[in-house]
């Protein structure tokens, strides 16, 4: 399904915000620049992200339970005030790593 806003149909797209509200749709987005987009109270459960740039993104009140990450660049990522129960990195529980680290300080 392709959605074109009337103000951009048939000509080069401009940077006017597209709004989707109170909708239940499955979107396929490819080769798109959605930088500076905002998602609020959105259900992206079971969504798939491949070759996506989320650098400098901000995530607040986000449910990532049971999410899987592979081949992900987490350089300089900060994780604060989060429930990390069961969180594993390369098969190792992060809670165990933190416990061992804090025991040495």
4 located within any domain: yes
90 located within any domain: no
84 located within any domain: no
96 located within any domain: no
The tens digit of pLDDT for each residue in 66-86 reads 999 999 999 999 999 999 999
Tell me which residue of 1, 6, 49 sits closest to 23, measured CA to CA: 1
66: left (phi over 0), alpha (psi -120 to 50) or beta: left
Whether residue 46 contacts residue 53, with contact meaning beta carbons closer than 8 Å, is answered with no
Number of domains in the chain: 1
Alpha helices by DSSP H, 3-104 = 94-104
26 located within any domain: yes
For 101, counting Cβ atoms within 10 Å of its Cβ (0-12 exposed, 13-18 middle, 19+ buried), the class is exposed
The tens digit of pLDDT for each residue in 8-63 reads 445 555 667 888 899 998 999 999 999 999 999 999 999 999 999 999 999 999 99
pTM comes to: 0.71
Distance CA 43, CA 40 (A): 9
* Boundaries of domain holding 54: 1-76
């Amino acid at each position: 399904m392709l959605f074109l806003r009337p103000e951009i149909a048939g000509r080069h797209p401009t940077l006017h915000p597209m709004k989707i509200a109170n909708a239940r749709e499955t979107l396929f987005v490819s080769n798109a620049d959605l930088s500076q987009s905002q998602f609020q109270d959105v259900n992206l459960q079971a969504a798939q992200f491949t070759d996506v740039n989320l650098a400098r993104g901000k995530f607040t009140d986000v449910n990532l339970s049971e999410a899987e990450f592979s081949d992900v660049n987490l350089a300089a990522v900060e994780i604060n005030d989060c429930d990390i129960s069961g969180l594993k990195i390369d098969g190792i529980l992060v809670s165990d790593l933190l416990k061992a680290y804090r025991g040495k300080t």
